[in-house]
Structure 1
């Protein structure tokens, strides 16, 4: 596949994600997809992850800010926004809705095989994410050093 075709797969995936069309993942993700960020494998576990996220952040939206393709990989910078209005389960912990709005910059790296996402990595600032949710905060010393505006 060409670099532009690989990027088109990612565009279609993000669009399906934003439209809550998890059913389209069958056409966009390999059955044995490897998710390095969440340490899981398989399309069905990948779909469950998104279903869980949609319940916790029903208005979550990802906007592609930049996209780069090289070989069989596509790098994507997205700006994600959402409001935590539902229960969220992560790492065995359940977080009740906070009502907080969050904004997050994320980088995804996807390996494309046969016109589908086959493997993925994610880089984001989870500490800032949890801070925006009000789950964590600065210590008194941190507040002095990192004065918020």
Structure 2
């Protein structure tokens, strides 16, 4: 498939994600999908991550800022926003809903095979995500250096 066709697949995937439509997984994700960020293989574990995210952040939305494709690889930068109102866990530790609104920039790198996502990586600022949830905070010195509020 052409880079433009691959971009269209990624756009369709993100639009379905924003619409909470997990039915597209069978059409857009290969059965042995390799998720390098979460170190898992398989379409079902990948689908489960989305289900968990929908429960914890029911209003999560990813706005595509830019997309670049070359060969069978697509890079997409999104601005993601959401409110933590549901159950969630981090490394198996339950995190009760905080009610906090989050905003973060994320980059996804996907390799496609025959019009389907075959493997992917996510790049984001996990520390900032955890700070916005109230799970980590800057030290007093860090607050001065970065001008950050707790």
The TM-score bracket by the shorter chain reads over 0.9
SS at match of 1:86: coil
Name the CA distance, whole Å, in 2 between partners of 1:97 and 1:38. Answer: 22
Contact 1:111–1:117 at 8 Å: present in 2 too? Answer: yes
Name the CA distance, whole Å, in 2 between partners of 1:72 and 1:146. Answer: 39
Show the counterpart of 1:5: 5
Show the counterpart of 1:131: 131
Give a deviation string over 1:46-71, Cα, whole Å, max 9, x none.
11110000000000000100000001
TM-score by length of 2: 0.97
Name the CA distance, whole Å, in 1 between partners of 2:145 and 2:4. Answer: 45
Show the counterpart of 1:61: 61
Cα deviation, residue 143, structure 1: 1.7
Backbone CA RMSD of aligned residues = 0.9
Note the residue ranges of structure 2 that are not aligned, 5 or more in a row.
Answer: none
List structure 1 segments (4+ residues) > 4 angstroms apart after TM superposition: none
Show the counterpart of 1:26: 26
Show the counterpart of 1:45: 45
Give a deviation string over 1:63-85, Cα, whole Å, max 9, x none.
10000000110000000000000
TM-score by length of 1: 0.97
